[in-house]
Structure 1
Amino acid sequence: MASLNVGNLGEFLREQRRTAQLTLRQLADAAGVSNPYLSQIERGLRRPSAEILQQLAKALRISAETLYVQAGILDERDREEAGVRSAILADPSIDERQKQVLLQIYESFRKENRPAAGEGDRGAPRDTT
């Protein structure tokens, strides 16, 4: 079966699974997917839906946005935001309530700096490289 160009996602998932010290079967069970299906995702043979990615992210205790970027669901412009979100969610030194508050503050700043429709780009400069 030909690869669907999702090898990077599969490699990333495999690395996250190993880092979490989970077997393929354990992650599949935790995410509510079949063992063969997860194996095909890791080998780049299947393209999972956003819902499946969200289930996998929850089971791996990482942000869904991180997997969305890896899968090409989120635009390159969202990569930086996903990185910030991932860093906040992965920080073991703050509790879940503090993480949610930080994410809310971060999002409010992003909205505040986003240019209004029709106003041109008057917000903070955006890196387009």
Structure 2
Amino acid sequence: MDKVADLGRDIGAYIRQQRNTAKISLRQLSKLAGVSNPYLSQIERGVRKPSAEILQQIAKGLRISAEALYVQAGILDVPAGGPVPDAVRADTALSERQKQVLLDIYESFRRENRAAEPAENDNDPDFSKE
């Protein structure tokens, strides 16, 4: 039971941190997310545990990825890491939106390079096929 309460506090503290970073008041976020001011306040204080739908609305109001809130709330597992994604996620100077954009760009480059690998090897006379 304590673990559930801890998750509620963790997600609430995370939402408050993101709201403060975005320089948005509780009342402004309430309006942007379409969530009542008292309910949002209870979420931030860890009194209420929001549903995935409410988290999605809050993410939209904060202009961050819903995935970031889902991970923080324990709904999703932490995405696969590596040195670059881990460094981006750990950087406190970046907003969640900036982190997500960087991670999307990084992953698109990796996908592009993976797709190009077989074509490069086909033109390589030293590449032997087994």
Shift of 1:88: 8.6
Residues 88 and 102 in structure 1, CA contact (< 8 A), matched pair in contact too: no
- TM-score (normalised: structure 2): 0.61
Distance 1:107 1:87, change over 3 A: farther
Q: Which TM-score applies when normalising by structure 1?
A: 0.62
Bigger-Rg structure (1/2): 2
Gaps of 5+ in 1: 113-129
Equivalents in 2 of 1:27, 1:19: separation in Å?
Answer: 12
Runs of 4+ that moved beyond 6 A? none
Identical pairs, percent: 51
CA distance 1:103–1:13, shift in 2 (3 Å): same
| Matching of residue 75 in structure 1 with residue 77 in structure 2 | yes
Number of residue equivalences:
102
- Using a 3 Å threshold, how does the CA distance of structure 1 residues 30 and 88 change in structure 2: closer, same or farther? closer
Bigger relative CO (Cα 8 Å, ≥ 6 apart): 2
Structure 1 vs Structure 2 CA RMSD: 3.5
Q: Residues 104 and 13 from structure 1, CA distance in 2 versus in 1: closer, same or farther, beyond 3 angstroms?
A: same
Q: Which residue of 2 aligns with 1:4?
A: 5
In the TM superposition, residue 106 of structure 1 has moved relative to its aligned partner by 7.0
The 8 Å contact of residues 53 and 64 in structure 1, kept in 2 or not, is answered as yes
